[in-house]
Amino acid sequence: MQRLVLARLLQAGLVVLVVGILCFVLVRALPGDPAMRIAAGRYGPDANITEAAEQVRRELGLDQPLLVQLGTSLGQLARLDLGHSVVTGLPITKELRIQLGATLWLSGSALVLSLLLGPPIGLLAGLRRGGWVDNASLGGAIVLRSLPPFVLGLLLILIFAMLLGLFPPAGYGTWRDLALPALTLALGLAAVSSRVARDAVAAVVRTPYLAFARLKGLPEPVVVRRHVLRNAAIPVVSYLALQAIYLIEGVVVVETLFGIPGIGHALVHAVIARDVPMVQGTALAMGLLFVVIAAAVDLTCHWLDPRPKRI
């Protein structure tokens, strides 16, 4: 348990390190005067930029070794001093606070929706392998997994927004705005989790302990409720750690596609605008969100499965 938390804390540290170093290099690799850019990033464009740039130049100093400069910059990160956006001039932390809500709403509702869709279908398919639910969900999963999120999102927009006029094609504010983007992500996630659940259920059904549960006389609904669900949930939940990658990557794409003012949307625009402090802040936030989800998955697994962990 402690080891699980420690491992994820370590991962969080690595996220900060990787993002910090890449952005440190990025600032210095872009054409133009790095001091000017750093100054703009640190104090915002309102500040007297040339003077600030001079100060930065003195402070970081071209005479300073790169490693010392890197240390200073990582130190700032550790204090959560993320600087200002070069584009809007607002402090990054303030921008992130606003964007975080949209991202959490989207990813949360997508996750919940996918869990409502995937595992129950997988359970039905796994209990009756080769039945119509199994075959139909297999076909559906193959098709959905062959569709990149942005194409899937586009299809949903074309069908539900353009053709049927049920939901708005883009925007942010009400639950109706969130329906299509959340569904886009949820379908992609459920395509995988339904199959993972199906295989997990099929594997549990074949185990000697399930045969024994039946042979000791328990009625089938009790067997499913008490022995199938918990055991089959273990692989499904632990697979969620991998699905968190799909979720985070999907959030970036879907926010951009549907124009949801979240962190992913901001990241893509910061990349296009080469707003390095913003790239750093948003990438950091998304990376840490990923670690948080993975840690939650770890803890759930730990609670579900009492057996000692290997590793």
Partner 1 sequence: MSIADATLVPIARHSWLTPSRAAGLALLGLLALFALLGPLLVSVDPTEQDFAASLTPPGSDYLLGADHYGRSMLARLAYGAQLSFGMALLTVATAALPGILLGLLAAWRGGLLERALELVSAVLLALPGLLLVLILLAFAPGTFGPLYLGLALTLWIEFYRVTRVTAAGVLKQPHVEATRLLGFKTGYILRNLVLPEIRPILITLAAFAMSTAIIAISTLSAISVGLRPPTPELGAMIVELLPYYAEAPLHVLMPGILIFLLVLGLQLATRSDLR
Partner 2 sequence: MNAPVRFQSLTVSGLGISSGDTTIVRDVAFTLAQGRPVTLLGASGSGKSLVAHAIMGSLPAGLVAHGAIKLDDEDLLATSFERTRARWGRTIAILPQEPWLALDPTMRIAGQVGEVHRYLHGRGSAEAQTCMRADLTEVGLGNRTQAYPHELSGGMCQRAAIAVTHAAGACLVIADEPTKGLDAALRDSVVERLRQEVDQGRLLLTITHDIEVAAALGGMIGVMLDGALVEFGPAAEVLERPRHDYARTLIAADPARWAAPALPPPGEAVAAARGLSKRFGERTLFDGLDIAVRRGEIVAIVGPSGCGKTTIGNILLGLVTPDRGEVQRAPDIAQIRFQKLYQDPPAAFAPHQALRQGLGDLLKLHGLPWSQAEASMGRFGLGQELLDRRPNEVSGGELQRFAILRALLLDPVFLFADEATSRLDPVSQKQVFAILVEAVRARGLGLLMVTHEVALAEKLASRILRLPN
The residue ranges that bind partner 1 (CB under 8 A) are: 11, 14-15, 17-19, 22-23, 26, 29-30, 138, 141-143, 145-151, 154-155, 158, 162, 192, 195-196, 198-199, 208, 211-212, 215, 244-245, 248-249, 252-253, 256-257, 267-268, 270-272, 274, 276, 279, 283, 286-287, 290-291
SS3 171: coil
Handedness of CA 69, 70, 73, 78 (dihedral sign): negative
User: In this structure, what token pair is assigned to residue 112?
Assistant: 């919940």
136: Cα within 13 Å, side-chain hemisphere: 7
279 binds, among partner 1, partner 2, none (CB under 5 to 8 A by kind): partner 1
| 130 forms part of the interface with partner 2 (CB under 8 A) | no
Contact 141, 117 (CB under 8 A): no
User: In this structure, what token pair is assigned to residue 7?
Assistant: 């491992």
Q: Which is nearer to partner 2, 214 or 269 (CB)?
A: 214
Q: How many CB atoms lie within 10 A of CB 239?
A: 19
151 binds, among partner 1, partner 2, none (CB under 5 to 8 A by kind): partner 1
226 binds, among partner 1, partner 2, none (CB under 5 to 8 A by kind): partner 2
Binders of partner 2 among 150-209, rule CB under 8 A?
Answer: 207-209
| 299 forms part of the interface with partner 2 (CB under 8 A) | no
| Residues β-bridged to residue 91 | 84
| 22 forms part of the interface with partner 2 (CB under 8 A) | no
Element (H, E) at 204: helix 175-205
Q: Which is nearer to partner 1, 67 or 215 (CB)?
A: 215
| Alpha-carbon span 75 to 93, nearest angstrom | 16
**What phi, psi does 310 have (nearest 5°)?**
-85, 170
Residue whose pair of structure tokens reads 């938390």 in the numeric block: 5
Give the closest residue to 225 by CA, choosing from 204, 244, 250.
204
Question: What x-and-dash track marks residues 212-251 binding partner 2 by CB under 8 A?
Answer: xxxxxxxx--x---xx--xx--x-----------------
227 binds, among partner 2, partner 1, none (CB under 5 to 8 A by kind): partner 2
Q: Which residues bind partner 2 (CB under 8 A)?
A: 207-209, 211-219, 222, 226-227, 230-231, 234, 304-308
